[in-house]
A and B are shown apart, each in its own frame.
Chain A
Amino acid sequence: MDQKINVPKLPHIFFRWYCRPERYEELHGDLEELYYERIKEQGSTQARMHYLFDVIRCCQPYAWKKLSLQPNFSTNMFRNYYKTSSRSLMRNPLSSFINIFGLSMAIGVCLVVYAFLKYDYSIDRFHEFKDEVYLITFSADRSGTEEQYGLTPRPLGDMLREDFTHIKKVCRVEDKNAVLKNGDKVFHESVRFSDPEFLDMLTFPLKWGVKQSLAEPNNIILSDEMATKYFGDENPLGQDIQMIFGEDRSKTFKVSGVAEPFPEAHIIDFSFLVNFENLRTNFPNYNSQDWGEFVNATLIQVSAPSDLALITEGMTKYQTLHNKAQNDWEITSFGFEQLASLHLNSGNIKNDISYDASSEGRISLPILALFMLALACFNYINIAIVSAAKRLKEIGVRKVIGANRGKVITQFLAENILVTAFALIVGLVLALTIFLPWFIQVAQRNMELNLIDGNLWIFLVALLFLTGIASGIYPALYISKFNTVKIFKGSVQFGKKNPLTKVLLGFQLILACITITNAVVFTQNTTYLNNRSWGYNQQGTLYADVIDAVGFDRLNALMIQHPDVMSTAGSTHHLGKETAPSLVYQANRPYEVAQLSVSADYFKTMELQLTEGRFFKDRSENDKQAIVVNELLVKNMVLEQPIGELLEIDGAKYEVIGVVKDFHEKNFYYEMQPTIFRLADQSDYRYLSMKVRPGTEQEAYQALQSEWAALFPETPFQGGYQEDVWTGFFEEVDTQERFTKTVAFMAVLLASLGLYGLVTLNVSGRIKEFSIRKVLGAGLKNIAINITQQYIVLCLLALVLGLPISYVLAKAMMDMMYPISVPIGYLEIMLPAIILVVVLLAVVFTQVGKVSKSNLVDGLRTE
């Protein structure tokens, strides 16, 4: 009787699973009959297809197992919960909207922060050997505190290669500026000189060519961007490109490789990569065996991190070698930084090839996300507590039917997770369509939320439960607590007097206060920094980066004849562009200072202000042993009588002849530094700066550019308005301002939404009271005062607590981000207070209006 069943297996299993047993025989008999018939008529494949369709089609209620036959209490219960929850959500559209909107906004922010952190932690981690490659660093005590540097003595790389068998690979990296030329495309570029192992250790994939080609000194490997810049979209392999190092030094390279576009999350990269050997051949002064000089970076690759201890031990002898050759940089120890975590620690390492672009974001963004989440959760808790009055009967009935407290808690939590899930979807959409594009634009980093990313979903689920439970647990506990008998008797007193509601609202107001204060301070700071004096006159000043002294002479001779140019000056370094670190000894104690070598005219051209003594005299031989210092140096070195003081630099004595007012040689992110000016050798001039007649900057700039083009057709022009040297800095400051303003706006929006919900519920619960008041003759004023009273007290309390906290936080933030920032005064403190009070009053008065217009008969009638 039991024939062998040879219908397709999987659909059959599925059918068996859903089909109710008492109908299986007849139903599947029909399907089998059809199946065997079709095999005969249409062949096996067709029949199998049809069978599958039939199984799917038959999956209908008439064939299903009867769920209700097996008593399954919890499914039914949850179905009922779902029904009551969705009904209660629909019944209170306003509070549902506030809850869902608030939560989705907070979740959207969380997702953006997630995207940011993910981006941040994936920087430079695409390299295959990210855990094996280390940057060698050293610690040195230059001016009182020990600091870590990312540089390495030049011969170290070679020595390591020979001395240690544990080290698999060594790679030195040096960066030089050069002019690259292919046909009419001529630009200033930074070129990376490295050992051929570079691409073995940092595994940048190549689009064209092979990485081994770097071993040949005449080859060059380009980044994708540079390949497009110089050669367009074609494959440039085998083409020539000329590299110009100076007036008479140049070399032609053959393109032997082009890298794939670098991943978004990277910091270490290259534009042009050539063999280290080229340094020796093309820079006659470059001595790679000099222990006293540094190379930009030395990377090593080891098989196991445990080898590092051994290597460290063996490296002490290099320390002695270096310290003998170089007195200014006494190395106290060597260290290693893993490639994978290099950029995270980069903030503590000076002069390394990586940098830490987002240390502030790494701390402040998660805090911000928590802020937002807290605000939204508080809204939820408050509204849930106050609106519980409407659902008391439901809870009473549930308890009578037999739900225990645990069941009621589960119900409310489940309901809340449902709401959160909905908010999560909205939040995801918000994040993808609005927040993230905006944040990418502001942060100028191309991070992404990849929906296929498994971690994102784990994060989402975690967020769902965290938010759902954090916001729902208190209301659930609170609501489930009530005694059934009291509920039905109507004697439960609650909602209006819950102190937690007030605490949470107060907390929200404090958070809003903090964010507003931040926004105000940042805005003020932007204006402040824009107007702050640079210590010299940056207006009407132009500069050009000349190639060498000859170039300077030729350009200077032409520009000085220009009618709009009032003065010109040459210099080796330039304010806002370049200074040289130097050590000044006073009584054998070293001080780290910045040094600028300039001509005598430089002070006049840049309008640096003299407070004491004199500037250099033009072409004076005596002044070669003189320096001009800034006030900060005088202060730091405690020079009682600075003029005439003798200071030692590079083993020679220099006399201080003048003191200038403090100025910013770098942008406002950096503190002012003690600085010395020395008279530059005419043969060392690298910059031409000039002061032009006010209002003629543009003409002068055009003249400068056209003179340059005529003089040096081979070299692209580098220079511009002095005012523009910090453009990037001001853009960043602007960005921060925009960012904090948006954050403050969101926080205020969330807090006021929550407040609105609370006030509305409160007022609607007291409508009878207000109607009685109106009957007894209370005017609008009386009612307004009555409603406002409790909130205004709360608001004042929140301000009293919040303002000092805001002040301290804003100050800490400013101090962390800028050494120079706007002093925080009354305005910065009063403005948030005013904004908050106005928002609060506006919210309250919408409700007062409603009460005053309402018909008091409606309020007094009872069913």
Chain B
Amino acid sequence: MKGTHLGEFEELILLTVGVLYDEAYAVAIAKEIEEQSGRSINVSAVHKSLYRLEEKGMLDSRLSDPESKRGGKRKRLFSITAYGKRALDESMELRMRLRNRIPNIAFKWQMS
């Protein structure tokens, strides 16, 4: 399905948005991914993907209350849409389907 295609980083973002549920905004997402995957993520990369996913309709967003730790500014909180869930599921399913089709023999390289 062409329309729901997800990039690797986008998929990661989408997943993290789900994980963080009500606290999913750029800085938190970046930190979460850094923590989980160990790779260093810049916040601008997260911004870029978030806005793109929102454009695609996979994410929805609203503004929170202002917070003092952000200099009195509001943050944009993201949440997964139904379309986003479908894209995630399809992508996961595709992976699993392919993974399951790998014959056991392909992993038998130690034997030879």
Contacts and interface: CB of A to CB of B under 8 A. Distances in A.
B70 interface: yes
A57 B40 CA distance: 14
Contact of A30 (B43, B52, B63, B68): B43
Contacts of B42: 54, 57
A29 B71 contact: yes
A2 B66 CA distance: 10
Contacts of B51: 62
Nearest to A3: B72
Contact of B47 (A5, A25, A63): A63
B27 A30 contact: yes
A62 B27 contact: no
Contacts of B43: 30-31, 34, 54, 57-58
B48 interface: yes
Contacts of A3: 68, 71-72
A25 B72 CA distance: 9
A28 to B, nearest CB: 7
A2 B71 CA distance: 7
Contact of B74 (A25, A31, A57): A25
Contacts of A29: 67, 70-71, 73-75
A32 interface: yes
A58 B44 contact: yes
Interface in A1-43: 1-3, 5, 7, 25-34, 36
Contacts of A63: 47
Interface residues of B, number: 22
A58 B47 contact: yes
A60 interface: yes
Interface string B54-77: 000000000100111111111110
A406 to B, nearest CB: 40
Given A26-B63, A26-B73, A34 B47 contact: no
B69 A27 contact: no
Contacts of B44: 54, 57-58, 60
A34 to B, nearest CB: 6
Nearest to A5: B71
A672 B71 CA distance: 93
B54 to A, nearest CB: 10
Contacts of A34: 27, 43
Given A3-B68, A3-B71, A25-B74, A30 B26 contact: yes
Interface in A745-781: none
Nearest to A33: B70
Interface in B10-53: 25-27, 42-44, 47-48, 51-52
A635 B43 CA distance: 98
A168 B63 CA distance: 81
Contacts of B75: 26, 29-30, 33
Contacts of B73: 25-26, 28-29, 32
Contacts of B74: 25-26, 29
Interface string A54-73: 10011010110000000000
Nearest to A61: B48
A58 B51 CA distance: 13
A808 B25 CA distance: 84
A33 B73 CA distance: 9
A759 to B, nearest CB: 53
A62 to B, nearest CB: 5
A62 B50 CA distance: 10
A58 B27 CA distance: 13
A1 B68 CA distance: 8
A18 to B, nearest CB: 12
Given A57-B44, A58-B47, A2 B27 contact: no
A62 B48 contact: yes
Contacts of A58: 43-44, 47
B76 A33 contact: no
Contacts of A7: 71
Contacts of B48: 60, 62
Contacts of A25: 63, 73-74
14 contacts: A1-B72, A3-B68, A5-B71, A25-B73, A28-B71, A30-B25, A30-B26, A30-B27, A31-B43, A32-B73, A33-B70, A36-B69, A54-B43, A62-B52
Given A30-B25, A34-B27, 5 more contacts: A26-B63, A29-B71, A57-B42, A58-B43, A60-B48
Interface of A: 1-3, 5, 7, 25-34, 36, 54, 57-58, 60, 62-63
**Interchain residue pairs A-B with the least CB separation, the first 3:** A29-B73, A29-B70, A57-B44
Interface of B: 25-27, 42-44, 47-48, 51-52, 63, 66-76
